Amino acid sequence: MDLSWALPTLVLLPLAGGVACWWTERLGLQWPRWIAALTFALDLLLLLWLWAQADIAAGLLSAPAASPQFFWEFQREWIPRFGISLHLGLDGLAILLIALTTILGLVAVLCSWREIDRHVGFFHMNLLWNLAGVIGVFLALDLFLFFLLWEWMLVPMYFLIALWGHENPGGRGRVYAATKFFLFTQASGLIMLVAILALVFLHHESAGVWTFNYLDLLHTDISATAQYWLMLGFFVAFAVKLPALPFHPWLPDAHSQAPTAGSVDLAGVLLKTGAFGLLRFAITLFPDASAAFADTAMLLGVVGIVYGASLALAQTDIKRFVAYTSISHMGFVLLGIYSGQMLALQGVVIQLLAHGISTGALFVLCGELYERIHSREFAAMGGLGQRAPRYATALMFFGLASLGLPGLGNFIGEILILFGAFKTAPVLTILAASGLIFGAVYSLLMLQKVLHGPASSDAPIEDLVPRESAMLLALMGLLLAMGLYPQPLLDTAHASLATILLLAGGVGS
Amino acid sequence: MKPIELLSLAPLLIVAAGAVLLMLLIAFGRHHQATAQLCSLIFAAALLACWQAPGSDSITPLLSFDAAARSVQALVILAGLAVTLLLYGYLQELTEPVEEMYLLLLLAVLGAGVLAGARHAAALLLGLEIMTVALFAMIAYPRGRTQALEATVKYLVLSAAASATLLFGIALLYAASGSLLLSDWQATPGDGLALLGGAMLLAGLGFKLSLVPFHLWTVDVYHGAPAPVTAVLATISKASVAALLLRYLSGLEPAAALQAALSLIAAATILFGNLLALLSQNVKRLLAYSSIAHLGYLLVPILLGGPLATEAVLFYLAAYTVTTLGAFGVVSGISSGQAMRDADSFAAYRGLFWRRPYLTSVMTPMLLSLAGVPLTAGFLAKFYVLAAAVEQQAWGLITMVILGSAIGLYYYLRLTIVMFQSPAGGRPAREGRLSETSITAGVALATMFLLVFWWGIWPQDLIAWLAAA
């Protein structure tokens, strides 16, 4: 069945929904919220339907395809002068990540229900447009279109942080955090644009035709030095997004000063675009250069794991704490991508999904706590276990997920990555495994500071309302399902990962 | 040459005849609305006249009809039309006679059109001087403003010096080549008199384009001039001179020393333009510095040459003109000619989203386009510049463009967010009434808004038009 029309629909639906949110604010503050929630729900249903229609079994039975296969592709001519077209394609990896995007989008809308009361329509428009850009990034197969959507994600997120964010008492403002985020991402994006242009020109020189099509550019004949520089150009942009050290300074400020929905969006979804970019573009377009760079990349990953974890231990602000644990978890992802093993790549996919859900949930919990006690400092918390039992259960669940408790998705992700990477880089993997121990330390320490110990004040704290409980229960269910039975997810991504591995050739070996 | 071939000159002829007609109209009776309407009609007719096949080079030795000439002529006429619409509301409240401003605008556009098509020293000088002298008067127009008078005097003196340098350069080139045609200058070997003459010519043109180190006049003059006139300075004046520079440099044989000198100028312009804008607390000065930086980006494909260069320069000029008109149009939209100064402090823009939501909806895409955010024409313009540079493998210049863009983002974003922040007193009330003047300005701004997005999302139309021109 030709469902190629569904691909632009996945992107256009949030766009249209965003505009509708902005206009309907005059009818009442509830209108934008409901429209945004419904838009994400619709998008999710469309994706689930596509998932059901996709022929996943075929990808499992056959040998890995030499060129990327997509369940459906959509292509329209756009700027023929440069061979740029509107080219979208849906494969297993994209299905999983778009599902994560729409689910977290819905969570972001639900958790902002009470928190955002100024310019509600404009807020939801920015949220919807941001995630429309992300969905487009997961679908784009034309490098110009990919770059355009990559940059598109930035402006709505800038507004989200700058206009609805929190101030840091004693620190720089939210505009500072938003600007830092924008500058880092835009500057690295421009470097990637130059790399894209160079790749297209080199292809033009060797093949005589202008094209920005990913599938055409895959086997361009380039010299080894040129390939290395181009790979670095792509790597910088994705490393800033991931974030990999030393490109991470934007993250703690942006995450802690964004509004809750912004943090959920950033940590849950935007970081995954960096990993996706590495998988889809960086290692496949430049296999030899990536192989040469693999050791450095894996080292950066391990350093990120240890650094993120160490700094998380030093934080007094709960959101900054979660932000640094994100850096730590994404270090595993970087290690897994450059190890060049199928098992590790599968671990990367599960880690992306599980991290998205668990960190998204943690930020939701941080936001809910802020709504109640108006502070993000650990000193203002304590003894919440007795004062808000349902909240405490949720926080404990996701704290344990973050540390990698078996039975939950994060464990599967991290352990598969470690198993896979051990074959290629045993020493680095041993160092990375210390991340599991660090994870335990910081998560349990956080739980102890927030939930146990003497209460910092006797004021009653409202426990979770039904809306919040339902949302968190759903996320808990997803994480448990991922941890107990991840095979369907691995099957969906199998064909894409196999082809990526084939194209990436000698990476890590 | 058959007389019918004179039709190729129709845009310029219409503007010239229109200037005379307007002058007679003003002499017979002063009426602001009628003058503005006639002026817009003249520009509209001239714009329509641009839609024709290119003329041949045999029509006149003074003017060429290549892609650069025709597209930039159309661009300056479009800019003239937009500025007319902006001037109407801006000048409405002035107590002194205002009709001459439209006459001066027509003359400035005429000069710019001639300059854009010039391939002979006479046309170059004619065009340059008509445009410059018209601008002198336009900058000082609101007589009550001492700041405007100061700006005019600065522009007058420095422009005279630059024109003198230019003339000296032309004289030296004439001595070296024996001809006043640009093509003959390009053919003369570049040493001795020709080298000196060429350098002085470039210095004179560099002044007009606000390239470092000839940029020192720019910010004060932009700041002092009334906002619509700043728009003219930033777009019409720059576009025409850029077209001339493109024509001159693309015909020259590539020389390493020249490339190096121009690369240094481009890098310095990008760097200084962006860094100095960081320190600005005034919107007009910020936009002035940003326009200096943009001319630096524009210089990159001009100096590098190559197959993509002409396309890149013309696309960049189109995108830059439309964006700058939009930005200065918003500034003139919230200012009035009668006031002592334009609304150019940051405080005047705080909370603009609630006071004037439509103006903010225009200003935000303009700023994002200047910053090079995708979906806007400014992004594709920067894409073209980077493409032209990557093709010539000018990695140093590419680094400067990226660095400049990153620095630029900071101050564009700062201004953007200021418009959305509520001032200390709480959310401000909605201002701005629907009136004849606001609608005319609104039409101009809406057109710029649409063009920025049309050329940003679907550039194929513009690319095809520029290639066919």
Backbone angles phi, psi at A140, to 5 degrees: -70, 135
User: Element (H or E) spanning A420, and its range?
Assistant: helix A409-424
Beta bridge pairs of residue A87: A75
Looking at the predicted structure, is the pLDDT value of residue A63 above 90? no
Closest residue in chain A to residue B398, using alpha carbons only: A194
Mean pLDDT across A229-240: 95
pLDDT tens-digit series, residues B333-353: 888 777 778 888 888 888 888
Q: What is the DSSP letter of A81?
A: G
Looking at the predicted structure, is the pLDDT value of residue B251 above 70? yes
Q: What is the pLDDT of residue A61?
A: 77
Beta bridge pairs of residue B211: none
Backbone region of residue B164 per phi and psi (left: phi > 0; alpha: psi in -120 to 50; beta: other values): alpha
pLDDT tens-digit series, residues B164-181: 999 999 999 999 999 899
Between A477-486, B76-85, B267-276, B432-441, the lowest mean confidence (pLDDT) is in B432-441
Of B368, B398, B413, the CB nearest to A179: B413
From chain B, the residues in CB contact with A175 under 8 A are: 414, 417
For chain A, give the percent of residues with pLDDT over 90. 69
Assign A208 a pLDDT band (cuts: 50, 70, 90).
confident
Looking at the predicted structure, is the pLDDT value of residue B202 above 50? yes
Looking at the predicted structure, is the pLDDT value of residue A376 above 90? no
In angstroms, the separation between the Cα of residue A229 and the nearest Cα of chain B is 12
Query: In a mutagenesis test of the B interface, which of A19, A78, A148, A230 is the best target, namely the one with the most B β-carbons within 10 Å?
Result: A148
Q: What is the pLDDT of residue A167?
A: 80
Chains A and B form CB pairs within 8 A to the count of: 68
Average pLDDT over chain A reads: 91
Closest Cα partner for B235 from B285, B295, B277, B278?
B295
pLDDT tens-digit series, residues A425-437: 999 999 999 888 9
Between A72-86, A160-174, A201-215, the lowest mean confidence (pLDDT) is in A160-174
Of B379, B398, B463, the CB nearest to A194: B398
A228–B contact, CB cutoff 8 A: no
Q: Kindly give, in sequence order, each residue whose CB lies less than 8 Å from that of residue A492, ignoring residues fewer than 6 positions away.
A: A51, A54, A56, A92, A95, A96
Residue B311: how many CB atoms within 10 A of its CB?
A: 18
From chain B, the residues in CB contact with A197 under 8 A are: 383, 386-387, 390
pLDDT tens-digit series, residues B118-133: 999 999 999 999 999 9
- What distances in angstroms separate CA A384 from CA A271, A325, A332, A453, B280, one per listed residue? 30, 22, 31, 9, 49
Closest Cα partner for B194 from B168, B207, B175?
B175
pLDDT tens-digit series, residues A8-20: 999 999 999 999 9
Closest Cα partner for B380 from B277, B459, B299, B280?
B459
- Highest mean pLDDT range out of A206-210, A459-463, B81-85? B81-85
From chain B, the residues in CB contact with A180 under 8 A are: none
pLDDT tens-digit series, residues A318-334: 999 999 999 999 999 99
A258–B contact, CB cutoff 8 A: no
Looking at the predicted structure, is the pLDDT value of residue A170 above 70? no
Q: Provide the b/e sequence for A20-50 (b: ≥16 CB within 10 Å).
A: bbbebbeeeeebbbebbbebbeebbebbeeb
Q: What is the pLDDT of residue A509?
A: 43
CB B184 within 8 A of CB B120: no
- What distances in angstroms separate CA B47 from CA A327, A343, A439, B293, B450, one per listed residue? 57, 64, 68, 29, 18
Chain-centre distance of CA A479, in angstroms? 16
A464–B contact, CB cutoff 8 A: no
Q: What is the pLDDT of residue A384?
A: 85
Q: What is the pLDDT of residue B400?
A: 94
Mean pLDDT across B17-28: 95
In angstroms, the separation between the Cα of residue B401 and the nearest Cα of chain A is 9
Kindly determine whether residue A179 and residue B414, on different chains, have CB atoms separated by under 8 Å. yes
